[in-house]
């Protein structure tokens, strides 16, 4: 994990927002998530890649460290991908839908995402996913 300054982390996050074409209104709505993601970038847990995709290094890899160690997030999520990932989830299940979005964004099965530690790993993943709602 390569740590970067808060200033650099903010620039990297801004670069991702521009690539995602996130509106000012949506940014204001998710202001608390911005802080989580900038902090994760600064701590080296989240990297904005050259193609503007994101890579999250998990603090607690799944399956006692034998499973998934990183999550690679797509820059875009189309309606078909979203539908496939959430079709078995009740529309009223907000957290379940977030898990479905994370699964679709990372091209992982729901079961893998459900194994994320409920602390920082899951917080970072959900902070990313809200920008795709």
Q: Report the candidate in 65, 23, 22, 58 with the shortest Cα–Cα distance to residue 40.
A: 58
**Is the residue at 68 inside a domain?**
yes
- pLDDT digit string, tens, across residues 11-70: 999 999 999 999 999 999 999 999 999 999 999 999 999 999 999 999 998 877 678 999
The β-bridge relationship of strands 70-73 and 54-57 is: antiparallel
Euclidean distance between CA atoms 75 and 52, whole angstroms: 7
- Lookup: tokens for 27: 């940014």
Residue 1 falls within a domain, yes or no?
Answer: no
Predicted local confidence at residue 90, as pLDDT: 86
- Assess if residue 11 is contained within a domain: yes
In a domain, residue 38? The reply is yes
Q: Evaluate whether residue 84 is within a structural domain.
A: yes
Assess contact for 46 and 124: CB atoms under 8 A: yes
- For residues 124 and 35, what is the distance between their CA atoms, to the nearest angstrom? 10
Measured distance CA(115)–CA(62) in Å, rounded: 6
**Domain presence at residue 67:** yes
Q: Could you give the 3-state DSSP secondary structure of residue 48? A: strand
Say if 100 falls within a structural domain: yes
How many domains is the chain built from?
1
pTM equals 0.91
Q: Tell me the helix, strand and coil percentages in the chain, rounded to 5.
A: 55, 10, 35
Q: How far apart are CA 90 and CA 80, in angstroms?
A: 17
- In a domain, residue 29? The reply is yes
Q: Which domain range does residue 67 map to? A: 6-132
| pLDDT per residue as tens digits for the range 93-125 | 888 999 999 999 999 998 899 999 878 999 999
């Amino acid at each position: 994990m390569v740590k970067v300054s808060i200033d650099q982390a903010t620039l990297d996050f801004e670069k991702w927002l521009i690539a995602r074409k996130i509106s000012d209104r949506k940014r204001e709505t998710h202001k608390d998530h911005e802080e989580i993601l900038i902090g994760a970038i600064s701590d080296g847990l989240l990297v904005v890649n050259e193609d503007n995709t994101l890579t999250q290094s998990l603090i607690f890899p799944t399956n006692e460290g034998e499973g998934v160690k990183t999550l690679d997030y797509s820059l875009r999520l189309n309606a078909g991908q979203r539908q496939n990932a959430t079709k078995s989830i009740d529309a009223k299940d907000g957290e379940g839908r977030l898990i479905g979005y994370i699964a679709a964004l990372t091209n992982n099965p729901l079961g893998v995402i459900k194994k994320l530690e409920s602390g920082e790993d899951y917080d970072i993943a959900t902070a990313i996913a809200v920008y795709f709602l």
